[in-house]
Amino acid sequence: MNIVDFIGRGRENATSREELCRRVNLSDRKVRKLIEKARKRGEIIINDGTGVGYYISEDIADLTAQYRMNQHRAMSILVQQKYLRRKIKEAELENVKAEVLLAEIKK
């Protein structure tokens, strides 16, 4: 099944995820996975984040808006990753210190 076949063309024909689930008789999670797979194949599926739904578009304004939204999300995730990595390194350092301390105590 190609999820793109069930998604409207143009913003005025946007399809909500709930409607997509009904059309293809799949769970929300499976529909999201199908959309993700289609995007990985190069399908341009727009979701402007306003609740209008998903749609196919070749309009440069839609493409630009989707690009910017995706870029913002990616940067936000990378910022979170920086702090997660820092915490992990701190925890690893604490574990090493604890191991060294235990080794000294056992001597």
The number of residues making up the chain comes to 107
pLDDT of residue 96: 87
- The model's pLDDT over 33-47, given as tens digits with 9 standing for 90+, comes to 999 999 999 999 999
Going by pLDDT thresholds of 50, 70 and 90, the confidence category of residue 1 is: confident
- The model's pLDDT over 76-96, given as tens digits with 9 standing for 90+, comes to 999 999 999 999 999 999 888
The secondary structure of residue 27, as a DSSP letter, is -
d(C-alpha 102, C-alpha 58), whole Å: 63
Q: Across the strands, what pairs with 15?
A: 54
